[in-house]
Amino acid sequence: MLNTTAIVTTSRNSNPTNDLLAEQTAKTLGIPFVPRKTFSLGELRAVHDAPCILVAKNNALVLETPDGELFFHPNMSHLRVKNLRKGQHDNMAEAMALAPGMSVLDGTLGFGADAIVASFVTGEHGRVVGLEASPLIAAVTAHGLANFSRENEPMTAAMRRIEVVNTDALAYLRAQPDNAFDIVYFDPMFRHPLMQSENMNPLRYAADHAPVSEAMIAEARRVARRRVVLKETSKSTEFARLGFPEIAGGRYSPVHYGVWRKS
């Protein structure tokens, strides 16, 4: 079950830019915009019976969940792109056999770190579409990818190119023609999380936890021109359950990539 009951507001010391962002976000998501005035988030949560609050502040969207706050940040993609620019390899890009000009459908966008790396590698002639089932996460990520401004030029360009769609991956895949994307990629919420990291709790609260279904993989195989790639923990039984014949990723890495190639 997706946690989606939410309202949109601003910080207490808002400005016209953030007011506009909050109002537009509320309209796009079809949820109430509530002027912040002097209310605390706790008060707004109680009055509006909304566990999640999207707050427009500093020209960004922050998602306040009962388990903590979520905001867009390039996270590990910064280091991964830096390493790629130095000529080092990236396990995900290798599992995808990614090259400039390719198209990637990221079926589980989250905060977009993997999509940013894919966008960097595929470059200006490539295409990366990111699907996110949670409307709240999709809103935060879409705004961040389009507006985050504290990055270098290649990272910024990679972020700006990503197309975000708030949808369930299966529904999107079903609407695509055969061979529509070179790569179809999934990085679902792990069946058995690697660590009980408290930092992950807000994402866990808002995210779609449903396991990848066999129907999703069947559709992904139809839509992929080259490969379907699934990221999971290295000991996961999901690779076998979902029919991935190859496993890629560092021998000592806690995560692996299941690879299915279209022959």
Ligand X SMILES: C[S@@+](CC[C@H](N)C(=O)[O-])C[C@H]1O[C@@H](n2cnc3c(N)ncnc32)[C@H](O)[C@@H]1O
Residues that bind ligand X (CB under 6 A): 107-108, 110-114, 131-134, 137, 168-170, 187-189, 207-208, 210
Nearest approach in angstroms of CB 222 to ligand X is 16
Q: Which amino acid is at 210?
A: A
CB atoms within 10 A of CB 110: 22
Query: Which one, 36 or 80, has the nearer CB to ligand X?
Result: 80
CA–CA–CA angle 173, 178, 182 (5° rounding):
80
DSSP codes of every residue in 117-140 = HHHHHH-TTSEEEEEES-HHHHHH
Q: Is the Cβ of residue 50 or residue 137 nearer to ligand X in the bound state?
A: 137
Q: Going by C-beta distance under 8 Å and a sequence separation of 6 or more, which residues neighbour residue 251?
A: none
Least separation in angstroms between residue 210's CB and ligand X is 6
**Which residue number has the CB closest to ligand X?**
110
Least distance to ligand X, CB of residue 169, Å: 3
**Of the two residues 210 and 248, which places its CB atom closer to ligand X in the complex?**
210
Closer by beta carbon to ligand X, 34 or else 137 = 137
Q: Two tokens at 201?
A: 């709790």
Q: Which is nearer to ligand X, 96 or 207 (CB)?
A: 207
* Rounded least distance, CB 170 to ligand X, Å: 6
CB of 35 vs ligand X, minimal distance in Å: 29
Asked if 95 and 253 touch (Cβ cutoff 8 Å), the reply is no
Partners of 61 in the beta sheet? 56
Q: How far is CA 103 from the centre of its chain?
A: 17
